[in-house]
């Protein structure tokens, strides 16, 4: 069947890579007779913050039949054109210099864009088919540039080349990011579906190993939700950098930002998974899980998205938290990491939450609601005022999983809940109502789970994880951090040693000394009057830096008092601080027996691919 005639035609050209300028045009075949409006989204789905992409539009003009059409900007992101009879085209330049997964980036080495940051929506035409002509820059030096995207090609355009691509509507158009350049490419199959990997940037990654591991993870996830997979093709787009981390999910692809050193290298021990690679695989697994959870199973508040303003929901803890729980769980079920390695990751996540005093001030439901102004705009007081709906959301998922297993003697698990969500909401396109997950937990686990759900999602008390983990034969243990860099998850080497003195703050490097990033509520530092932003320069008259502060404090006994000199702005202040014992906020988990028991095996080792 031929594709329906497009109602809107886009064309995007990297017009001036050195100046980071894309030239875009948008032609509406049958514009609004009362005058066509165009607007650019204020945010991109998956990243819940108002970003005002239209601020990067530099110049815009409109034409019809070769004549200029008057076009007035009427708010921060909207243009109103005069009525015309005939096809209307707007032309504009977009400044693209944001090397993140959320917007657009262009230089002489590559181009990347998300449709939300470059393609104007034509009002009233959003649900109609559109077509986009993707060009490479002019000139011989760009002749080898290819195009990576899961936007479907129009007949006549070959995959991986510049040419014509199509989308059924505007929502689809902006859900397929595009990479242009001379990237590295590899492919694997998962449940018969081709999965491509595209890497941009300088790297020496072992693509064979990466594809082998990703294939296991993707297969495990497809089987969790049930075959067939909801897409006929999938693309991992990886931008490699020296230092960076991030990912954004799309319906049939994901954009990832990764450290070069976190990728596997030829010559790495094939039986070992280095920490950075484990984290990178966790990120891939996370974004891939969103293919089901949030791209197709969506909160009702996102059906459809309103891209002009904040879309409020108290459910992000489930869409990000369930996904954060399953991202690492899929690694162990896929056989990519060991059960002990998984317990280490889980212990680290518990530690992250235990080191957030704000968990007593904000529930994960409220954290979800306020994502736009709090989670995505964290300031120096964030650890004291808020909780991450990712980190605690994953623990809520764990608690619900364990409670369901206990309630049903292992017959019902969180896997079942996700499968019901998939059938009821994912496959139907119906949004999940705000009380939908709570009702489903009760439907599957009985009324006795309602109290746990209410406490976990709407309350601020700590979750009863120590007790629940016994369901899978896991012991929950706490100790003090051994250093500021101690992420938890491991037994620790010096737990038998003397108590460690602490100030209750986190510092960063500063040319003058140690700059306080966060000062924890109720800490000795805060009680003494120190604050985030202050720069510590001396303890008892001796110079300190970010690198030496910890060692210096370690020489004092718990309960000892020190004199601290610190700058607040350009004013020098002196404080007397009494050191307290570092709190037992560092978690590690162990199997109660000699290894995983039957409950733990059902939890960690089911559903792996053969």
Give me the residues that bind Zn ion (CB under 5 A), please.
320, 323
Q: How far is the CB of 84 from Zn ion (least distance, A)?
A: 43
Residues 6+ apart with CB under 8 A from 361: 384, 385, 386, 387, 460
- What is the rounded CA–CA span in Å between residue 267 and residue 395? 36
Whose Cβ is closer to Zn ion: residue 370's or residue 585's? 370
For residue 602, report the phi and psi dihedrals to the nearest 5 degrees.
-65, -35
Structure-block tokens of residue 200: 């941009």
- What is the rounded CA–CA span in Å between residue 300 and residue 436? 10
For residue 512, report the phi and psi dihedrals to the nearest 5 degrees.
-90, -30
- What is the rounded CA–CA span in Å between residue 260 and residue 93? 32
Q: How far is the CB of 249 from Zn ion (least distance, A)?
A: 6
Contact 404, 446 (CB under 8 A): no
Q: How far is the CB of 299 from Zn ion (least distance, A)?
A: 13
- What is the rounded CA–CA span in Å between residue 27 and residue 603? 53
Measured in whole angstroms, the distance separating CA 188 from the mean position of its chain's CA atoms is 24
Residue listed under structure tokens 């940037």: 201
Q: How far is the CB of 375 from Zn ion (least distance, A)?
A: 12
Whose Cβ is closer to Zn ion: residue 79's or residue 289's? 289
Q: How far is the CB of 237 from Zn ion (least distance, A)?
A: 16
Q: How far is the CB of 392 from Zn ion (least distance, A)?
A: 14
Q: What are all long-range contacts of 70-78, with beta carbons under 8 Å and residues at least 24 apart?
A: 74/37, 76/42, 76/52, 77/39, 77/40, 77/41, 77/42, 77/52, 77/53, 77/308, 78/37, 78/38, 78/39
- What is the rounded CA–CA span in Å between residue 601 and residue 596? 6
Contact 559, 578 (CB under 8 A): yes
Structure-block tokens of residue 179: 């990479």
3-state helix, strand, coil in the chain (%, to 5): 30, 30, 40
Q: How far is the CB of 316 from Zn ion (least distance, A)?
A: 9
Q: What are all long-range contacts of 6-9, with beta carbons under 8 Å and residues at least 24 apart?
A: 6/128, 6/129, 6/130, 6/131, 6/166, 7/125, 7/128, 7/129, 7/130, 8/122, 8/125, 8/128, 8/129, 8/130, 8/131, 8/170, 9/130, 9/131, 9/132, 9/133
Q: How far is the CB of 293 from Zn ion (least distance, A)?
A: 9
Whose Cβ is closer to Zn ion: residue 117's or residue 323's? 323
Whose Cβ is closer to Zn ion: residue 320's or residue 344's? 320
Contact 38, 72 (CB under 8 A): no
Angle at CA of residue 414, ends 275 and 327, nearest 5°: 20
Q: How far is the CB of 282 from Zn ion (least distance, A)?
A: 11
Residues 6+ apart with CB under 8 A from 601: none
- What is the rounded CA–CA span in Å between residue 536 and residue 530? 9
Whose Cβ is closer to Zn ion: residue 386's or residue 471's? 386
Q: How far is the CB of 576 from Zn ion (least distance, A)?
A: 45
Whose Cβ is closer to Zn ion: residue 319's or residue 476's? 319
Whose Cβ is closer to Zn ion: residue 63's or residue 262's? 262
Residues 6+ apart with CB under 8 A from 247: 101, 254, 255, 256, 257, 283, 284, 286, 287
Whose Cβ is closer to Zn ion: residue 328's or residue 550's? 328
Q: How far is the CB of 324 from Zn ion (least distance, A)?
A: 7
Burial of 461 (0-12, 13-18, 19+ CB in 10 A): exposed
Q: How far is the CB of 432 from Zn ion (least distance, A)?
A: 16
Whose Cβ is closer to Zn ion: residue 320's or residue 585's? 320
Burial of 270 (0-12, 13-18, 19+ CB in 10 A): exposed
Residue listed under structure tokens 């003697």: 409
Element (H, E) at 323: helix 316-333
Whose Cβ is closer to Zn ion: residue 61's or residue 245's? 245
Q: How far is the CB of 323 from Zn ion (least distance, A)?
A: 5
Give one DSSP letter per residue of 362-410, joined into a string.
--HHHHHHTTTTTGGG--TTHHHH---TTHHHHHHHHHHHHHHHHHTTT
Whose Cβ is closer to Zn ion: residue 27's or residue 323's? 323
Whose Cβ is closer to Zn ion: residue 20's or residue 102's? 102
Whose Cβ is closer to Zn ion: residue 44's or residue 539's? 44
Q: How far is the CB of 286 from Zn ion (least distance, A)?
A: 5
The H-assigned helical ranges of 12-126 are 115-118
Q: How far is the CB of 320 from Zn ion (least distance, A)?
A: 5
Pairing of strands 78-81, 88-95: unpaired
Whose Cβ is closer to Zn ion: residue 170's or residue 317's? 317
């Amino acid at each position: 069947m031929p594709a329906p005639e497009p109602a809107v035609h886009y064309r995007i050209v990297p017009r001036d890579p050195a100046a980071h300028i894309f030239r875009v045009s948008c032609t509406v075949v049958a514009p609004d007779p009362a005058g066509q409006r165009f607007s650019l989204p204020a945010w991109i789905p998956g990243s819940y913050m108002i970003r005002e992409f239209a601020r990067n539009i530099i110049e815009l003009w409109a034409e019809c039949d070769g004549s200029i059409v008057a076009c007035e900007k009427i708010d921060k992101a909207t243009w109103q054109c005069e009525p015309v009879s005939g096809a209307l085209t707007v032309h504009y330049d977009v400044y693209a210099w944001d090397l993140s997964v959320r917007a657009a980036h262009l230089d002489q080495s590559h181009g990347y864009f998300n449709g939300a940051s470059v393609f104007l929506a034509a009002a009233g035409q959003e649900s109609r088919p559109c077509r986009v002509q993707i060009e490479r820059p002019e000139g011989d030096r760009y002749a080898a540039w290819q195009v990576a995207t899961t936007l479907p090609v129009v007949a006549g355009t070959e995959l991986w080349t510049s040419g014509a691509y199509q989308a059924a509507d505007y929502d689809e158009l902006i859900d397929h990011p595009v990479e242009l350049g001379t990237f590295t490419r590899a492919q694997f199959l998962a449940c018969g579906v081709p999965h491509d990997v595209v890497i941009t940037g300088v790297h020496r990654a072992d693509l064979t190993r990466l594809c082998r591991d990703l294939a296991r993870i993707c297969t495990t996830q497809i089987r969790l939700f049930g075959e067939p997979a909801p897409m006929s093709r999938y693309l991992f787009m990886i931008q490699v950098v020296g230092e960076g981390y991030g990912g954004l999910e799309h319906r049939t692809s994901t954009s990832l930002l990764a450290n070069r050193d976190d990728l596997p290298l030829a010559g790495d021990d094939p039986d070992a998974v280095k920490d950075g690679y484990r984290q990178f695989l966790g990120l891939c697994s996370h974004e891939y899980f969103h293919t089901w959870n949030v791209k197709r199973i969506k909160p009702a508040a996102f059906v459809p998205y309103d891209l002009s303003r904040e879309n409020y929901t108290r459910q992000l803890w489930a869409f990000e938290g369930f996904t954060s729980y399953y991202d690492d769980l899929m690694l162990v079920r896929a056989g990519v990491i060991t059960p002990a390695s998984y317990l280490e990751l889980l212990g680290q996540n518990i530690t992250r939450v235990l080191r957030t005093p704000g968990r007593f001030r904000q529930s994960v439901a409220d954290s979800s609601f306020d994502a736009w102004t709090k989670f995505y705009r964290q300031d120096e007081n964030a650890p004291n005022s808020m909780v991450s709906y990712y980190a605690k959301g994953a623990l809520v998922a764990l608690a619900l999983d364990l409670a369901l297993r206990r309630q049903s003697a292992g017959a019902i698990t969180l896997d079942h809940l996700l499968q019901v969500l998939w059938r009821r909401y994912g496959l139907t396109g119906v949004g999940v109502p705000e009380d939908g997950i709570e009702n489903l937990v009760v439907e599957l686990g009985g009324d006795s789970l309602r109290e746990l759900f209410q406490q976990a999602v709407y309350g601020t008390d700590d979750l009863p994880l120590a007790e629940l983990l016994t369901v899978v034969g896991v012991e929950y243990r706490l100790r003090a951090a051994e250093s500021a860099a101690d992420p938890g998850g491991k037994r620790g080497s010096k737990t038998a040693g003397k108590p460690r003195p602490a100030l209750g703050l986190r510092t960063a490097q500063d040319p003058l000394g140690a700059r306080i990033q966060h000062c924890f509520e109720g800490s000795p530092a805060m009680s003494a009057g120190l604050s985030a932003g202050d720069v510590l320069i001396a303890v008892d008259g001796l110079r300190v830096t970010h690198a030496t502060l910890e060692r210096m404090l370690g020489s004092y006994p718990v309960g000892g008092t020190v004199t601290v000199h610190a700058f607040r702005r350009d004013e020098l202040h002196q404080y007397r601080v009494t050191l307290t014992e570092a709190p037992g906020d560092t978690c590690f988990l162990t199997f109660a027996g000699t290894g995983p028991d039957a409950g733990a095996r059902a939890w960690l080792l089911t559903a792996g691919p053969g």
